[in-house]
């Protein structure tokens, strides 16, 4: 009676109530709470399930569960009780609601499947000229269980030469590639390169093309109530979505090379807006913190690649390694060692708020003589302007694995550039280069290039350059108009250079992704009178080309055929040359189904239902589809699209499994002793491979199934009164789309 008459006393002692919980304007369902004079006890589990973290406050046991006092959580948490609506409104500091992460760089497709099947190919090219000259080139690759065996070969009427031979193994999780055999090693700025027969270990970022190796912009902001987030980069909206209360972190904002302006606008339900702004300079030469880039090679140096087959000489070792120290600093080093020569030095990359600096220095020792070289460069670019330059200085004794041309020992090399966009139609580029040799020769070149967008498909390009070298001074000029018409372009230009003044006309059409044709035409007047024409035809089984050149009245004609023989999935296929990776679209037994790669038509399946796609990208998500409208109605297909990541220079099978649809009809009677009856308006359930399919039974006992495979299947028939009878339905093998199994009898057990 006291409790009923004095509610304040009840509140002081603790009144239980079931209330709807609203946290930062987001409903979280109903919960039992304890109300006190100016406090509310609420279950810890209710708050943690709502996303709250790191809660402290005064705790009590309520009904066997731990509860916390909301008053004790102030000022991070405040609350308001709506007794009329039976709601408890809780306002939480966003820092207690955990962290939401949004990665704005598109990663791998969610349905991406990495697949590598045992496969191989032999690319070939044969050229014949009207002078009776014949030459050929062959490239072979065999992909087996993650290993690639690769070889090239060339031949003329006089000799045959082995090119490159190697076995490579990719470690996808580490983005590492091991190469055993011939491989090109290089050490970067101030270094040399060499073909090495031995072992090479490389950090190959192409193995995971979705990996972000460069430092990018990330932003964070607390969100108090449900809001709409809009992300803009350089004035373009790149993301718009709803975000819940909590700490929001945006990672890897998509940006272009150079300076970028980013804004994040957060608009809550009341129309209040907050804006985060940042300027960021993106460079692809810097590495994100902790990211390594390297190549290590050791073996024997190979000379005259493509000319001789087995010219292996001195032992050699090459190494280069860079690592991201922070978002702004990337450092590294390089090393070259061979008999009589050693070269080593550090490198540095600095990402600045406005631009980047690259620097390197090195020392060398060759035949007992020391040399040194240094290089530093700066570049800056944004949407409207760019500028930069680099300077390299070296002593006369500086040496690398790559020897300079005879009499060409540079003491200083410098270059500078600047480009600007004037409005939306004009771009201008200035270039300057200078080279000084230790032999006393100086060379320089200055030029300006401009492009004017005259109309939607028409561009005007003009350039002027002045140069000076050991042969004297000279000038060059170019002015031309280019018309773009889809895959075709045409241009008319006036050219002035050391060969004098002349007019040049060009027209070309690029080859399509699938089957089709292309061409290239070039003609110019003047003393030489040059005319060149190339006609290209790309078919399912190869690429063919006819080239004719006429220079000063001398004409030559070359006929070329290029193609590939591919083995995969137990079959051999003729195809266009394999460029990178390939796939076999397989629709078993169904001919004439159109196949698509990245939604572009690439051909139709052959007699066995196979279609080879020879020009796909390794490790990327290649989208392969088939046209389901081309699949006959007698077949069903579970999926018509796949996204496959393929091995480097290897292949995989994209299987679109079709099932023949066999409709089955018949009649059923139930036999009980000497009597038989029709289970009118009942149903039949047939078990097929662990799944159940049903059919109603008509008034005459007729039944119908959309798809029952050939064979014997367990079945149960039920009449309208629910009485059951078990039997076996046997479907014969047939090519017909509709199979009538006749009248079936089910022997019912005597009751």
Exposure letters 79-90 (e unless 16+ CB within 10 A, then b): bebeeeeeebbb
pLDDT at 751: 55
Handedness of CA 70, 74, 79, 81 (dihedral sign): positive
- Cα gap 232→277, rounded to integer Å: 10
- Cα gap 234→162, rounded to integer Å: 52
- Contact assessment for residue 533 and residue 540, using Cβ atoms and an 8 Å cutoff: no
Tokens representing residue 482 in the block: 């280019």
Domains of the chain: 2-96 (3.10.20.410), 215-282 (2.60.40.3110), 565-659 (2.60.40.2610), 663-747 (2.60.40.10)
Nearest to 457 by CA among 433, 434, 487: 487
Helix or strand (DSSP H, E) at 16 = strand 15-23
Nearest to 593 by CA among 658, 541, 646: 658
Greatest CA span in the chain, whole angstroms?
Answer: 121
Exposure letters 456-492 (e unless 16+ CB within 10 A, then b): eeebbbbbebebeeeeeeeeeebebebeeeeeebebe
pLDDT averages per 10-residue partition of the chain, 751 residues: 44 77 88 89 88 85 86 90 89 84 85 94 95 92 94 92 95 95 92 94 94 90 87 89 87 89 87 87 92 97 90 94 96 95 96 94 94 96 93 96 86 96 92 95 96 93 94 93 93 91 94 89 86 94 94 89 96 93 94 92 91 94 93 83 95 90 90 88 91 92 88 92 91 84 86 55
- Cα gap 272→269, rounded to integer Å: 7
Residue 143: partners with Cβ closer than 8 Å, 6 or more residues away = 116, 118, 119, 120, 149, 647, 649, 650, 651
Residue given tokens 């169904």 in the structure block: 590
- Cα gap 452→457, rounded to integer Å: 11
pLDDT at 5: 40
Tokens representing residue 552 in the block: 């000063």
What predicted TM-score, i.e. pTM, was given to this entire model? 0.81
- Contact assessment for residue 64 and residue 23, using Cβ atoms and an 8 Å cutoff: no
- Cα gap 263→229, rounded to integer Å: 10
- Cα gap 253→217, rounded to integer Å: 6
Tokens representing residue 254 in the block: 């998509």
Alpha carbon 523 to chain centroid distance? Answer: 40
């Amino acid at each position: 009676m006291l409790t009923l008459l004095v509610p304040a006393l009840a509140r002081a002692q603790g009144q239980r109530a079931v209330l709807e919980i609203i946290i930062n304007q987001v409903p979280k369902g109903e919960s039992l709470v304890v109300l006190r004079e100016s406090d509310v006890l609420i279950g810890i589990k209710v708050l943690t399930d709502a996303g709250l973290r790191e809660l402290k406050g005064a705790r009590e046991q309520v009904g066997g569960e731990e509860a916390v006092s909301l008053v004790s959580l102030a000022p991070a948490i405040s609350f308001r009780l709506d007794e009329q609506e039976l709601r408890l409104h809780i306002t939480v500091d966003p820092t207690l609601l955990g962290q939401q992460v949004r990665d704005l760089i598109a990663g791998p497709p969610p349905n991406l499947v990495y697949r590598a099947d045992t496969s191989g190919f032999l690319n070939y090219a044969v050229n014949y000229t009207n002078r009776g000259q014949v030459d050929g080139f062959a490239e072979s690759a065999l992909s087996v269980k993650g290993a690639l065996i690769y070889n090239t070969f060339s031949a003329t009427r006089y000799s045959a030469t082995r090119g490159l031979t190697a076995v490579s193994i990719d470690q996808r999780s580490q983005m590492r590639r091991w190469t055993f055999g011939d491989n090109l090693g290089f050490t970067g700025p101030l270094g040399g390169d060499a073909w090495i027969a031995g072992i090479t270990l490389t950090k190959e970022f192409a193995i995971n093309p979705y990996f972000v190796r460069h430092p990018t912009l990330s932003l964070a902001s607390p969100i108090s109530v449900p809001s709409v987030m809009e992300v803009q980069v350089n004035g373009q909206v790149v993301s718009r979505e709803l975000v819940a209360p909590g700490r929001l972190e945006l990672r890897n904002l998509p940006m272009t090379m150079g300076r970028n302006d980013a804004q994040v606008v957060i608009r809550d339900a009341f129309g209040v807006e907050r804006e985060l702004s940042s300027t960021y300079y993106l460079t692809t030469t810097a590495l994100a913190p902790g990211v390594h880039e390297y190549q290590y090679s050791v073996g024997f140096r190979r000379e005259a690649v493509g000319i001789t087959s087995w010219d292996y000489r001195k032992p050699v070792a090459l190494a280069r390694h860079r690592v991201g120290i922070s978002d702004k600093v990337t450092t590294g080093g390089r090393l070259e060692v061979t008999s009589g020569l050693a070269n080593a030095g550090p490198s540095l990359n600095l990402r600045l708020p406005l631009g980047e600096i690259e620097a390197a220095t090195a020392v060398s020792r060759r035949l007992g003589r020391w040399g040194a070289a240094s290089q530093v460069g700066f570049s800056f670019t944004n949407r409207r302007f760019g500028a930069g330059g680099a300077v390299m200085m070296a002593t006369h004794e500086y040496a690398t694995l790559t020897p300079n041309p005879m009499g060409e020992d540079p003491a200083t090399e410098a270059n500078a550039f600047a480009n600007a966009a004037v409005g939306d139609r004009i771009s201008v580029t200035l270039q300057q280069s200078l080279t000084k040799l230790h032999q006393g020769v100086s060379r320089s070149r200055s030029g300006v290039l401009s492009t004017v967008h005259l109309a939607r498909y028409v561009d005007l390009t003009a350039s002027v350059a002045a140069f000076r070298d050991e042969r004297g001074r000279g000038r060059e000029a170019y002015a031309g108009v280019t018309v773009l018409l889809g895959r075709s372009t045409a241009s008319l230009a006036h050219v002035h250079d050391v060969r004098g003044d002349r007019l040049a006309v060009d027209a070309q059409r690029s080859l399509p992704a699938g089957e089709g044709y292309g061409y290239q035409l070039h003609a110019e007047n003047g003393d030489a009178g040059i005319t060149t024409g190339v006609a290209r035809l790309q078919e399912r089984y190869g690429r063919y080309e006819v080239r004719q050149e006429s220079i000063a009245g001398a004409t030559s004609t070359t006929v070329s055929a290029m193609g590939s023989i591919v083995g995969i999935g137990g079959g051999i296929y003729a195809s266009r040359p394999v460029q990178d990776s390939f796939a076999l679209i397989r629709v078993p037994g169904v001919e004439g189904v159109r196949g698509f790669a990245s939604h572009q038509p690439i051909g139709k399946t052959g007699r066995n239902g196979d279609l080879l796609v020879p020009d796909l990208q390794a490790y990327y998500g290649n989208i392969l589809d088939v046209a389901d409208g081309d699949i006959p109605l007698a077949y069903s297909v579970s999926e018509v699209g796949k996204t496959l990541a393929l091995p480097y220079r290897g292949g995989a099978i994209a299987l679109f499994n079709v099932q023949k649809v066999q409709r089955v009809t018949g009649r059923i009677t139930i036999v009980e002793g000497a009597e038989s009856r029709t289970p009118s308006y009942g149903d039949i359930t047939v078990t097929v491979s662990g799944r159940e399919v049903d059919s109603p039974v008509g008034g005459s006992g007729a039944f119908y199934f959309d798809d029952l495979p050939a064979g014997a299947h367990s079945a149960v028939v039920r009449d309208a009164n629910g009485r059951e009878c078990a039997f076996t339905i046997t479907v014969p093998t047939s090519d017909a789309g509709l199979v009538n199994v006749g009248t079936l009898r089910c022997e019912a057990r005597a009751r």
